[in-house]
Amino acid sequence: MLYRSLGRTGEKVSILGFGCMRLPIIDGRPDQIDMPLATDMVHYAIEHGVNYFDTAFSYHGSAYDKPGQSEVFLGEVLRGGYRDKALIATKLPPWVIKSREDMDQVLAGQMERLQTDRIDCYLIHALNAENWPKLVELGVRDFLDAAKADGRIRYAGFSYHDLPAVFAPIVDGYDWDFCQIQYNYMDVDFQAGADGLAHAAGRGLGVVVMEPLRGGRLAGRIPTDVETLWETAQTKRTPVEWALRFVWDDPGVSLLLSGMSAMQQVVDNIEIASRGEAGSLTAEDLALIGRVRDAYRERTAVGCTGCGYCMPCPENIDIPAVFESINSAALYDSLDEEKFLYEMMVDGGRSARASACVQCGQCEDACPQKVPVIEEMAKASRLLDE
């Protein structure tokens, strides 16, 4: 395993971090983690050098404003000597914070679920132009200072989901130790983007990258035209390796998070990480990635990464799954297949039809990608329901 510094903290972190948002589950229920399999995966990762584990208040939950099972799982799996081998990262959810006291109460609950007396890397979750000023007014700076001073947290950071122009003012608005941004070869100009990454790294912040595979879209079934492009490379790599190596190639990146849901993914990603040196891709490699980016951009229908922040939908529409059907149909020219799978999903009770959307807008308020969900859901209804 290769390691890099987490910004100016001097903390050495594995370049591959374990994201605990997409752990293996039972019967398709996000709040039912497959404990034996997930435990084996985490222990294998630790034994092979992974030392950064990212969770959050709501991960693997049945409701966005209630604690999920991811923190509980991580607290259990790190018992028996594993805790001192791992850096725990979790997040304060702004959407449940109404007062300065709430911040302390939420942190206390997280420490209890994680069975720890300290959170190594504590983030304010999904900061944007709306919730950052609200949290400042409620005293979040004082909260972070106090929590660091008394040892409840070691390093303070934030994750980010908003427009590029909003990022730098947040970086400059507090003495952060690190930040977490969405970044991959499709998103160099999206949200914080490459410019934001450079700004944060230049200020001495550690940079943690999420969505390096864009919600798995860069690793699943590969369109024929994209596959043909990859085959032109002199050095043969899997699509997963191309995507991960692109992120690691930037020396400003401290580590990337992979939301691994199968043991083989853990094994493969750890093996790929052994080659994740900064600056190791050639000019020809980067030019090829640019051509692949262009090919994908010509095909993608909806810019949804499947993060699930829009859920639950009051009308029981599985919004990410519907958009996955639309994107898969566009990427792979497989509308008939996707309509068949969509009907199975609806008939099985997993989701209401896209046509059930009442345009309440709750999903659009929650979407970190700023997808016009109402408009896209109407298109999905025309394509899948009619």
Residue 313 lies in a domain: no
Is the pLDDT reported for residue 386 higher than 90?
no
Q: Which DSSP string corresponds to 109-164?
A: HHHHHTT-S-EEEEEEEEE-TTHHHHHHHHTHHHHHHHHHHTTSEEEEEEEE-S-H
Query: Is residue 381's pLDDT more than 80?
Result: yes
pLDDT at 11: 97
Structure tokens at 268: 């493969």
pLDDT tens string 149-200: 999 999 999 999 888 999 999 999 999 999 999 999 999 998 999 999 999 9
Q: How confident is the model at residue 216, as a pLDDT?
A: 84
For residue 63, pLDDT over 90 is answered with no
Same domain flag for 124 and 193? yes
Q: In 3D, which of 345, 309, 338 has the Cα closest to residue 324?
A: 338
**In angstroms, rounded to a whole number, what is the distance separating the alpha carbons of residues 92 and 97?**
9
In a domain, 59, yes or no: yes
Domain count within the chain: 2
Q: Kindly state whether residues 179 and 286 are assigned to the same domain.
A: yes
Alpha-carbon distances of 232 from 218, 246, 284, rounded to whole Å: 17, 17, 11
Q: For residue 374, is it within any domain?
A: yes
Same domain, residue pair 135 and 239 = yes
376 shares a domain with 235:
no
* Residues 28 and 80 occupy one common structural domain: yes
Q: Are residues 173 and 50 in the same domain?
A: yes
Q: Global pTM? A: 0.86
Over range 304-332, report the average pLDDT: 90
Supply 233's token pair: 């490379």
How many angstroms separate the Cα of 183 from the Cα of each of 142, 159, 163, 250, 317? 30, 12, 13, 11, 28
What confidence score (pLDDT) does residue 308 get? 85
Is 304 contained in some domain?
no
Taking only the tens place, the pLDDT of each residue in 73-112 is 999 999 989 999 999 999 999 999 999 999 999 999 999 9
38 contact partners, CB below 8 Å, separation of at least 6: 23, 24, 73, 77
**Mean confidence (pLDDT) of the chain:** 95
Helical H segments across the chain, by residue range: 35-47, 70-77, 100-113, 131-138, 140-149, 164-171, 193-202, 224-230, 239-248, 263-273, 283-297, 319-332, 335-347, 362-366, 373-384
Q: How far is CA 39 from CA 176, 238, 322, in A?
A: 32, 27, 31
| Whether residue 94 is found in the same domain as residue 7 | yes
Residue 307 lies in a domain: no
**Residue-number span of the structural domain to which 129 is assigned:** 3-297
Cα angle 174, 176, 181 (rounded to 5 degrees) comes to 110
Q: Is the confidence at residue 39, as pLDDT, over 90? A: yes
Mean predicted confidence (pLDDT) in 3-19:
97
Q: Is residue 308 part of a domain?
A: no
> Are 238 and 341 members of one domain?
no
The per-residue pLDDT for 350 is 85
Residue 278 domain-assigned? yes
- Check whether 331 has a pLDDT greater than 90: no
124 and 244 part of one domain = yes
**How would you classify the pairing of strands 29-33 and 25-26?**
antiparallel
Q: 143 and 249: one domain?
A: yes
Percentage of the chain modeled with pLDDT above 70: 100
Q: For residue range 271-307, what is the model confidence (pLDDT) as tens digits?
A: 999 999 999 999 999 999 999 999 998 888 998 988 8
Hey, CA dihedral for 199, 284, 213, 42, is it positive or negative? Answer: negative
CATH number at residue 187: 3.20.20.100
The least confident of 61-65, 124-128, 156-160 is 61-65
Q: Could you tell me if 29 and 100 lie in one domain? A: yes
pLDDT of residue 267: 98
CA distance 307 to 310: 8
Q: Is residue 121 part of a domain?
A: yes
Residues 38 and 118 in one domain: yes
Q: Indicate whether 214 pLDDT > 90.
A: no
